[in-house]
Amino acid sequence: MSNTPEKKGVSAVDFFCIGFGAIVGVGWAVAINGWMTSCGGPIPAAIGYIVALVMMVPIALCYCELVPMLPVAGGGMAFAYKAFNETVSFISGWAAFGAFVSIIPWEAIQITDVLGYLIPGIKTGPILYKVAGEPIYLITIIIGSVASLLLFALNMRGLAAAASVQKILCFILVGAAVIGAIASLIGGNADNWKPIYDVTDPTIYGNPADGLKQVSHNSMFGGILAILASAPFFLAGFETIPQGIEDAGGDVASVGKTVVLSVVLACVFYAILLFCFGYAWKWQEFAHMSNPSAATMFKSLYPGAVGGVLYWLITLGAIAGLFTTWNGFFMASASLLMAMGRGNLVPGVFAKQNKNGIPVPGLLVCLLLSLIGPFLGAGLIGSITSFSAAAFVLSWCITSFSLIRLRKIAPDMERPYKIPGGVAMGGFSALITTVVFILLFVPNNPVYMGKTASIMFVGWMVIGFILYAISGVQRKAISKADREAAMFGHATHED
């Protein structure tokens, strides 16, 4: 029994802040104008997130039932283990782990960019080298590395300590976003939404006659669907909740419900900000504003001191959001790797915890990956985002099928919460995630994630199967019953 009183007591509110903070992150402040242009305007982008809500709620409901039913670290990987077999479990876990850990260096890259907006001159000095055309500076490597070490130190104190910091940062980012939305409505104009849909502006897309259009749609409906290429990445933070369930200090059913709540509010949050920021400034001009685009826009909307204050507030909110996502996936990645180690899906060393129940080997891997980020720079962020989205969707798809199968093969298992619709809801979730996953790899459709991201995904899965085969010797040396006991013996059902 590695659990200690120090680890216990993480409440449903804490889990909501972990999930919502990990979802929202920094994207609303630095990527929102990119969402508008990729969808052909703020209106189709906002509607796109409502459509994404239709896709995400059934997925979240599957987790809502399965998390309290199997309250152990691992999330979708553990569900697939119980529902199917080790191979399917590994596919789900390895895909999710790839999605998790790609976010960690992504945030380590972003921290220097966001700080650079508040502290001009950070990106100065001799260029060490370039990656994908983006220059790498010594100071950006130092800042990203120091921030990575600080997050590692925080998570070494346990989930409760990390959750407390997460709660504070979550309030800061939401507060900044609310102020930004109100300021947009006060100073904006509905004419800024026009044209409602357009992908022909040569200043954004190039001249279509020259084959330079950078989107795979030519209708508003296509623009609405285009958000699904990146939405899974920007909505995936709810996955951090199942990974910490063993530290729940209350009713595990309420923790499961925070998955749904965090997803719903995040989609609404994004949609509202797209409507509001699109209302504030003409979106074709917004597309060219320097990051953090939302903060920069307010300096134009409110010239003078008011605009300066809003710029700082939005940028501070962006920094808080960056750390909520970074912190959330730091802790979740280590827990997922620990769960995979328990089942010997990866080397068993990753199952080890220290005397306080901290998964130190997993945190060290997260630290290493986080430290790699500043050395890569921002040139690969787009491909990393799309790769992560595909990996998440695959894991969610397997989770949906796991709910269906467990309803059939284990109808008498304790279910603290049973979702409405049952197998039908799981089937709807499975259908949606399967279709989206396939479309992510099909060129010339609005959801296509691109060649580089596709290669990254295939490469990651090949590496995973090689590691899975290598760990097979160790896996066979332990009986299946012992492996299951190691994986599910930490369940925290309330008596």
pLDDT for 5 equals 38
Q: Give the distance from CA 369 to its chain's centroid.
A: 16
Burial profile 104-140: b = 16 or more Cβ within 10 angstroms, e = fewer: bbbbbbbbbbbbbbeeeebbeeeeeeeeeeeebbebb
Q: Is the pLDDT of residue 69 over 60?
A: yes
pLDDT for 143 equals 86
CA distances from 375 to 125, 382, 432 (A): 16, 16, 37
Q: Give the distance from CA 211 to its chain's centroid.
A: 33
* Rounded Cα gap, residues 29 and 114, in angstroms: 10
Residues 6+ apart with CB under 8 A from 83: 401, 402, 403, 405, 406, 409
Q: Is the pLDDT of residue 110 over 80?
A: no
Number of residues in the chain: 495
Residues 6+ apart with CB under 8 A from 259: 19, 60, 63, 64, 67, 238, 241, 242
Looking at the DSSP bridge assignments, the partners of residue 136 are 129
Report the range out of 58-62, 105-109, 111-115, 441-445 with the highest average pLDDT.
58-62
Looking at the DSSP bridge assignments, the partners of residue 134 are 131
Question: Do 146 and 185 contact (CB within 8 A), yes or no?
Answer: no
Question: Do 167 and 154 contact (CB within 8 A), yes or no?
Answer: no
DSSP E strand stretches across 115-272 = 127-131, 134-137
**Helices H, strands E: what count in the chain?**
22, 2
Q: Mean pLDDT throughout 246-255?
A: 77
* Rounded Cα gap, residues 233 and 270, in angstroms: 13
Question: Do 177 and 403 contact (CB within 8 A), yes or no?
Answer: no
Orientation of helix 86-118 relative to helix 138-155, angle to 10°: 130
pLDDT for 379 equals 63
Q: How many CA atoms lie within 13 A of 101 on its CB side?
A: 22
pLDDT in tens, 280-313: 999 999 988 877 888 889 999 999 999 999 999 9
pLDDT bucket at 378, cuts 50 / 70 / 90: low
The values of phi and psi at residue 445, to 5°, are: -135, 160
Q: What pTM, to 2 d.p., does this model score? A: 0.84
The values of phi and psi at residue 478, to 5°, are: -120, 135
Of the candidates 231, 219, 261, the one whose C-alpha atom is nearest the C-alpha of residue 433 is 231
- Three-class secondary structure assignment of 326-393: HHHHHHHHHHHHHHHHHCCCCCHHHHCCCCCCCCHHHHHHHHHHHHHHHHHCHHHHHHHHHHHHHHHH
- As given in the structure block, the two tokens for residue 210 are 């020259």
Of the candidates 205, 208, 209, 226, the one whose C-alpha atom is nearest the C-alpha of residue 217 is 226
The values of phi and psi at residue 133, to 5°, are: 85, -5
Looking at the DSSP bridge assignments, the partners of residue 130 are 135
Q: Which of 19-33, 137-151, 243-257 bottoms out in mean pLDDT, i.e. has the lowest?
A: 243-257
Instruction: Compute how many other C-beta atoms are within 10 angstroms of the C-beta atom of residue 207.
Output: 10
